[in-house]
Amino acid sequence: MLTLGMISEPLLYLCFSLLIGSFVLRLVPSAYRPDINVPKGVLMIATAGIAIFSFIPVLQLILVLHQDVGLGQTFQSVLFTFEVGKAWIFTYTLTNLLFVFIVWFDYRKKLLYSYIGIVFTFLLIFALGWSSHASSIEQWKGFLAHTIHFLAVTLWVGILFIVSWFSKNHSNWLNFLKWFTPVAIICFLITAISGLFLMSIVIDFNDYANAWILPYGQALLIKHLLIIPLLAYAFINSILMRKRLRKNESFNPIPWTKSESVIVFLIFSVTAVLGQQSPPHDVETTVASSGVSRLFDLFYQGIITRDLEIVLNIGIDSGMLLIAGLFFLGLTVMSYIKKAPILLSFTMSILCVVTGYLTLIVSIQ
């Protein structure tokens, strides 16, 4: 079931992103975006995906509890007494209504239909925030933080996904960047601030490094490292891309936005792994209950104890790895400037994350 959760969660994020990106971009005048065509079938699949993938946490809870009172009673109890179950009933009802709406009304023909689609999607995001782990701990604060966080992510990423994979051409790209770049920056800042608040709910910032010995801490660290190449691609696809398009309007920026969208999906996947791990409210207690991360155990050469205090010190080995990581990060950007194959740039970005990870692990005293 852990594997199922790790697969379903990034797909759930993708479904939300496709919906909100499609509806929002349809509201943008055609002169300020490339020609886009998202088939109704894609939105229908995304809507059905939300209903299916959002049920996985409910199913996981049912399978954990059913041995005590039986499957049928547990199913009924989880759906009607647990917040996650109630939220899924609300989600399932809305997705059915949205599915029928998409079938009957073509959102590409009238702006009103896109506005209605956005309202449906926002309500589904509220339902997801209602059933979130943060909401169960901090109630309204957790609900608002998770909802704002997820809304900012899906708005930014949804637009990125749609223009990357459903654009018929790259016309009006400079006009598109004029409004999308500030929107992306604002969404990123909101995501970062709300993400820090959500992180503070489950882990003390002072224990951030100590939590690396746990599966949760490892996933959190990798997620944060993946933000580095994401920012590099954001820099390429905004500032550098704008300069190149002014000189050469025939240059196609879409392959580069596709690379950025792949990095985003990797972050979604790591976030899904994060969601399947025990949050380290107390690191020592969590180590005793869930054990040490296999990945940390693989690379860390010291003795691992429950009360291990992680202190970083840059030595010769870690310093060389740090230089290599910065070199790979630079090559990610230089690959674009020198017009190298995009696969080279993407490979450099992944190597930047790997060497960044090794730098931190080798630096542990």
Q: In 10 A of CB 163, how many CB atoms?
A: 23
Residue 172 backbone zone (phi > 0: left; psi -120 to 50: alpha; other: beta): left
- Please state the pTM of the whole predicted model: 0.91
Task: Give 132: exposed, middle or buried? Use CB within 10 Å, 0-12, 13-18, 19+.
Answer: buried
3-state secondary structure of 121: helix
Q: pLDDT means per 10 residues in the chain (365 residues)? A: 76 94 93 92 94 88 75 80 86 94 88 92 90 75 88 94 93 93 94 89 82 88 94 93 89 92 92 78 75 82 76 87 94 92 94 94 86
Compute the chain's Rg from CA coordinates.
22
Q: For residues 128 and 143, what is the distance between their CA atoms, to the nearest angstrom?
A: 9
| Per-residue pLDDT, 151 | 93
The residue whose two tokens read 């399978």 is 63
**Which residue in 35, 46, 38 sits closest to 120, CA to CA?**
46
Q: Are 322 and 314 in contact (CB under 8 A)?
A: yes
**Which residue in 153, 109, 114 sits closest to 23, CA to CA?**
114
Q: Which two tokens stand for residue 103?
A: 């079938």
**Which residue in 311, 305, 310 sits closest to 288, CA to CA?**
305
| Per-residue pLDDT, 2 | 61
3-state secondary structure of 166: coil
Residues in Cβ contact with 294 at an 8 Å cutoff, skipping those fewer than 6 apart: 215
3-state secondary structure of 149: helix
- What residue segments make up the domains of the chain, in order of their start? 1-134+154-163
| Per-residue pLDDT, 1 | 58
Upper half-sphere CA count for residue 271 (Cβ side, 13 Å): 22
